[in-house]
Structure 1
């Protein structure tokens, strides 16, 4: 039987190492925190993650979610995220920035392939449709992280009990490996490369652990945040209506 990976333990060990490095640096000179590009799907899910990680990283939030349907819902979630960051101490105190991509839902439909495989439309969450949705958003986050020289990239998605943390982390590792290989290839042909990039590391996580999901509910109530009743895509909305 394959041993289950404890992603929270991996993250705990990394954060302990970063904390130790930062404490040692304080005795000599101030050392900058490593940079983290955090893909976020909404304000409520990112609230706990920012509270948890802002001590260790300089965080930039990427709002790339063309899966969200309809556009009014997409804009509402983005507005709630920005509204939270204007008053949320972990975002204010560390200067969290938000990067927003243009809303282009066709990117989602192309990525998940439900039109070609209509049976995927009726899948419950955590299935193949969702895996493909994780993948194309993580790929966009990783590409942005590489182009802008981030040390790490991650997503807030694993905070939800309805998201598959194993698939998310496996995809993160796969994408990190492809970035590393591409960076090595570019380095070998540096004379012809005009745009440089780095190879950010995947930050392992299962943010629902250690009471993370519960804490996100508490923060939502504390800050009066809108919490959506479905994941985001039209298929998750329709499947929710059937229940």
Structure 2
């Protein structure tokens, strides 16, 4: 069976790819992730997947355009369903691409991550498969998550610290940034009179629950 595998990142691909192959699937990867920001992070993840291909060849279709405009157009980043919108944006493209290009079925490495909303991804993929008259392959490989990260480490593949969007980056690093600057700055008396520190905390921390890879 020709399987189109949406790849969210190289790290999440390591262990599940082997399992899918052992089941007899002929796997082709699809890198489509307009959610990944900022631009340098997007380039790092593209490069990481190509590094993976050097040690474990797999055909991959790359969507290399930086997708900030597409992300902002399709995702209600001020609402509570931002992650659901992001899942839908990517998986809708995958399901349509699978059908249009003659693949027997599709799935996504997002299902193999312990950091994502597994049931939401499963339900959404099943609905999109029906909508596009395609087939969705469901596997729960979350138990391979640690193994996949270990393999990525051994292969010296870049392992990101947050899901992908700029909001998850903020949620992941906001406390470390605060600690980085806390107590580490010193000013002269004159400088203290001209330096202002702004705290722009808002409700963004309440809106993001997407960590990791």
- Shorter-chain TM-score category? 0.7 to 0.9
User: Does the CA-based 8 Å contact 1:41-1:157 persist in structure 2?
Assistant: yes
Normalising by structure 2, what TM-score?
0.78
Residue in 2 aligned with 1:206? 140
Q: Per-residue displacement from partner, 1:177-227 (whole Å, max 9, x unpaired)?
A: 1112xxxxxxxxxxxxxxxxxxx3101122213xx1011122012101111
Per the TM alignment, residue 104 of structure 1 is displaced from its structure 2 partner at its CA by 2.3
1:217 to 149, 155, 176: 149
- Determine the C-alpha separation between the residues in 1 that align with 2:28 and 2:171: 33
- Write out aligned runs for 1:221-232 (5 A): 221-232=153-164
Aligned residues: 173
Structure 2, unaligned runs of 5 or more: 176-213
User: Does the CA-based 8 Å contact 1:36-1:59 persist in structure 2?
Assistant: yes
- Determine the C-alpha separation between the residues in 2 that align with 1:132 and 1:119: 10
- Determine the C-alpha separation between the residues in 2 that align with 1:119 and 1:87: 41
Per the TM alignment, residue 119 of structure 1 is displaced from its structure 2 partner at its CA by 4.5
Q: Per-residue displacement from partner, 1:47-80 (whole Å, max 9, x unpaired)?
A: 1121111231111100000110011111111111
SS in 2 for 1:154: strand
Residue in 2 aligned with 1:140? 93
Structure 1 or 2, whichever has the larger Rg, is 2
Residue in 1 aligned with 2:19? 52
- Determine the C-alpha separation between the residues in 1 that align with 2:67 and 2:75: 14
Moved more, 97-106 or 145-154: 97-106
Structure 1, unaligned runs of 5 or more: 1-33, 121-127, 181-199
Normalising by structure 1, what TM-score?
0.68
SS in 2 for 1:99: strand
Per the TM alignment, residue 103 of structure 1 is displaced from its structure 2 partner at its CA by 2.3
Determine which structure has the larger helix proportion and give its number.
1
